[in-house]
Amino acid sequence: MAEIVLYHHSQGLTEGVQAFADELRKAGHTVHTPDMYEGRTFETIEEGMTYARETGFGTVKDRGLAAVEGLGDALVYAGFSLGVMPAQELAQTRAGAKGALFLHACLPVSEFGAAWPSAVPVQVHAMDADPFFVEDGGDIDAARALVASTDQAELFLYPGKEHIFTDSSLEAYDAPATQLLTQRVLTFLAGIR
């Protein structure tokens, strides 16, 4: 079974993020859910992003990076949207990474090094019309470049325009898409050695 560090999105460590972690736990995996917002949650993406900006994205990310201190090296790093920042940095730079799961976001590999580590499998999941993923930040371009750079990467696009569609505590939740995503994630995790 895999040991996973799962980072929350810009609205904080919501009940929906915890529920997703619990699904992975039910399959026998160990899941850590660091709280980069120190107990705060927000009703909207905008409110959460305002908090992250005011706190400093670097500070938020550093809280996420610090959360792995004391854990072993053989970890799978996963993140929802904003949580992809620390997850991707650790997957690319921390020795021993076993895999990575990027939900609703993907950063250019060049943010954290010259190339994706050849021994680290990665999945990227998002909706095909999510404006945050497709239009705003170029996440889809980063995800496609990642897939083109290594045979260890997969990109899964789901029909729809919701951003954080996997959080059951949010209005954007899409149960059928989340069910399919969860199946793919569990298959991915079953292959981690």
Domain extents in the chain:
3-190
Q: Locate 109 and state its tokens.
A: 């590999």
Q: What is the DSSP string of 66-129?
A: HTTTTS-S--EEEEEGGGHHHHHHHHHHSTT--EEEEES----GGGS-SS--TT--EEEEEETT
Look up the pTM and report it.
0.96
Q: Rounded to whole angstroms, how far apart are CA atoms 111 and 43?
A: 29
Structure tokens at 192: 């981690």
pLDDT of residue 125: 98
User: What pLDDT score was predicted for residue 41?
Assistant: 97
Q: What pLDDT shows up at residue 138?
A: 86
The per-residue pLDDT string of the chain (193 residues; one tens digit each, 9 = 90 and over) reads: 999 999 999 999 999 999 999 999 999 999 999 999 999 999 999 999 999 999 999 999 999 999 999 999 999 999 999 999 999 999 999 999 999 999 999 999 999 988 999 999 999 999 999 999 998 668 999 999 999 999 999 999 999 999 999 999 999 999 999 999 999 999 999 999 8
DSSP annotation of 43 reads S
pLDDT of residue 137: 63
What six digits make up the tokens of 107? 């950063």
At 193 the pLDDT is 80
The H or E element spanning position 182 is: helix 175-190
CATH number belonging to domain 3-190: 3.40.50.1820
